[in-house]
Amino acid sequence: MLAKRIIPCLDMVAGRVVKGVRFRNLKDAGDPVELAMAYDSQGADELVLLDITASNEGRETLIDVVERTADAIMIPLTVGGGIRSSADVRRILNAGADKVSINTAAVRNPSLIGECSRIFGSQCIVLAVDVRRIYVRRASEASGKTLIETPEGLCWWDVYIYGGRQAVGMDAFKWVEEAVSLGAGEIMPSSLDFDGTGRGYDLPFLAELADRVSVPIIASSGAGTPKHILEALTIGKADAALAAGIFHRGEYTVRDVKKFLASKGIPVRL
Amino acid sequence: MPKIAIVDYGLGNLRSIRKGLERAGAEAIVTNEVHRIAEVDAIVLPGVGAFEEALRNIKPLIPMIFQGIEGGKALLGICLGMQLLFTESTEGGLHRGLNIFKGRILPLPEGRKVPQIGWNTLKILKPKNPLVKGIENGSYVYFAHSYFAKNEVEEDLVATVNYGFDFPAIVSRNRIFATQFHPEKSGNIGLRILKNFVEIMVT
């Protein structure tokens, strides 16, 4: 039986792993290669490495970190941040990544997804999408948008690009559906409302997304406890859960989380 | 040190399989040159890219691959590299494969998430096969694929995986082995499988 995956995420600036709240207030959290090896030995199913500055100057540093990280582990590695072309994808895969995550460049140029999935296979193209809830009082305020009544109120989800700095004004569900039809092999949604808060994942969003697309979904943003991860995999119907702070702070190991999930009947690799 | 050629299709991550084979105790080169493949003890067809593109890239090497097998070289196909060894594939139109294993490559049917991405368990049917020496039934290995092999020859089947239905995870005949999963991404279990392959190629 296919196991649910637990994926620690390493957000990187200038070759160091950082941790912030709602994409801001970044603090140093360690050396990426050391952290990658530690999470591998704790039983992580995959690792995600995101270059959150995504600057041109940072490219060489990123390639170097990808090579050293990939050489140090024997689990899959996804790399994202500032990927703009199929040539960028090729360089990162050649450096030892198994998958790339594409976010801003895919929104600005959706054909990039199709091009990359045709060349490298859809199994290595992950669509990362940053979303934020836009609350409305009544449905007529957001015509054409997918509205859901959440415990916090009626809302739709807007797509953000450039690391959460710029709103696109596009229904997130429609964008993901388009990206899947173009060849995205996995979806990795992050929430600007929940990221770094430790109060749980955006479950209504995840559950709706799972009903709409037939590719695997990696839930991201908001894990504060193993129970939150359980909820993302059950209520949120995700295939994998990504988390950062909960692991970086040493509150729980990956193995702690997996043992908890196993005790709740979730298939995990222990 | 036993020497392995990893066939380069010019697509995707070949660094990890090279590293994995080195950890398993072999010297590994990534190449698409016939004369370099001629001088190694074993050939690995790695698992990246699309069927047609990969087939086009290895076309000039096919006679060398067959000559190598007949001369006793061991061969390991991984993921797409396994699928290339079958009779034919329906990925991107109907294409002939190397026909070493009889059967057809088909898309994973609807009713499940496609691609299958993640760790799934092996059901080992032939525990005596040297590639699975020391591997327990039910071990987790890493899959990432949208197509599967419909194998026609029962004796070739070493292990299956279940993703709503059973299909081949490992096939083998003589010194030819193929895995639908990625041993180079499958932690210690994968490393053991690569070590088994290195052991096979020197015996």
Q: From the list B114, B162, B185, which residue is nearest A76 (CB)?
A: B185
CATH number at residue A14: 3.20.20.70
Whether B118 sits inside 8 A of A45 (CB atoms) is yes
Instruction: Give the count of domains, chain A.
Output: 1
Whether A120 sits inside 8 A of B12 (CB atoms) is yes
CB contacts of B53 in chain A (<8 Å) are 119
A73 occurs within a structural domain? yes
Whether A74 sits inside 8 A of B53 (CB atoms) is no
The pLDDT value given to residue A57: 64
> Is the pLDDT reported for residue A93 higher than 80?
yes
> Is the pLDDT reported for residue A22 higher than 60?
no
Decide if A11 is catalytic.
Answer: yes
Q: The domain B3-202: what is its CATH number? A: 3.40.50.880
The pLDDT value given to residue A127: 98
What is the C-alpha end-to-end distance of chain A, expressed in Å?
Answer: 13
How distant is the alpha carbon of residue A74 from its chain centre?
A: 20
Residue A54 is encoded by which pair of tokens? 């995504």
Q: For an interface test with A, which of B13, B30, B145 has the most A Cβ atoms less than 10 Å from its Cβ?
A: B13
B44 residue type, one letter: V
Q: What 3-state class would DSSP assign to A100?
A: strand
CA torsion sign, A170 to A173 to A179 to A181?
negative
CB contacts of B146 in chain A (<8 Å) are 121-123, 185
The pLDDT value given to residue B203: 85
The pLDDT value given to residue A255: 98
Query: Averaged in consecutive runs of 10 residues, what is the pLDDT profile of chain B (203 residues)?
Result: 90 90 97 91 88 87 93 96 96 94 97 96 98 98 97 97 98 97 98 98 88
Q: From the list A119, A215, A269, which residue is nearest B114 (CB)?
A: A215
DSSP category for residue B175 = T
Strands A5-13 and A99-102: unpaired
Report ipTM (2 d.p.). Answer: 0.94
Query: Chain A residues contacting B, CB < 8 Å?
Result: 1-5, 40, 45, 67, 70-71, 74-76, 93-98, 118-124, 185-186, 214-216, 239-240, 269
Tell me how far apart the alpha carbons of residues A160 and A172 are, in angstroms, rounded to a whole number.
9
- B157's CB contacts (< 8 A; 6+ apart) are B125, B126, B151, B168, B170, B171
Q: Which residues of A224-257 are buried (b: 16+ CB within 10 A; e: fewer)?
A: bbbebbbbbbbebbbbbbbbbbbbbeeebbbeeb
Whether A2 sits inside 8 A of B20 (CB atoms) is no
Q: For an interface test with B, which of A45, A86, A269, A270 has the most B Cβ atoms less than 10 Å from its Cβ?
A: A269
* Long-range pairs of A230-236 with CB within 8 A, sequence gap ≥ 24: A230/A260, A230/A261, A230/A264, A230/A266, A231/A200, A231/A201, A231/A203, A232/A200, A232/A201, A232/A203, A232/A206, A233/A4, A233/A261, A233/A266, A234/A266, A235/A203, A235/A206, A235/A207, A236/A201, A236/A203, A236/A206, A236/A207, A236/A210
**pLDDT tier for residue A201 given thresholds of 50, 70 and 90:** very high
Chain A closest-CA separation from residue B182 CA (Å) = 9
Residue A189 is encoded by which pair of tokens? 């949604």
Tell me how far apart the alpha carbons of residues B1 and B38 are, in angstroms, rounded to a whole number.
16
A270 occurs within a structural domain? no
A269 occurs within a structural domain? no
Q: Distances from the Cα of B175 to the Cαs of A72, B45, B105, B186, B197, in angstroms?
A: 30, 14, 22, 22, 9
Q: Please compute the mean of the pLDDT values over residues A183-205 and round it to a whole number.
A: 96
Chain A closest-CA separation from residue B52 CA (Å) = 11
Residue B157 is encoded by which pair of tokens? 């089947």
| Helix (H) or strand (E) run with residue B161 in it | strand B157-162
Whether A124 sits inside 8 A of B12 (CB atoms) is yes
The pLDDT value given to residue B102: 98
The pLDDT value given to residue B43: 96
Chain A closest-CA separation from residue B168 CA (Å) = 14
Number of A:B CB contacts under 8 A? 108
DSSP category for residue A217 = B
| Residue-range definition of the domain harbouring residue A179 | 5-263
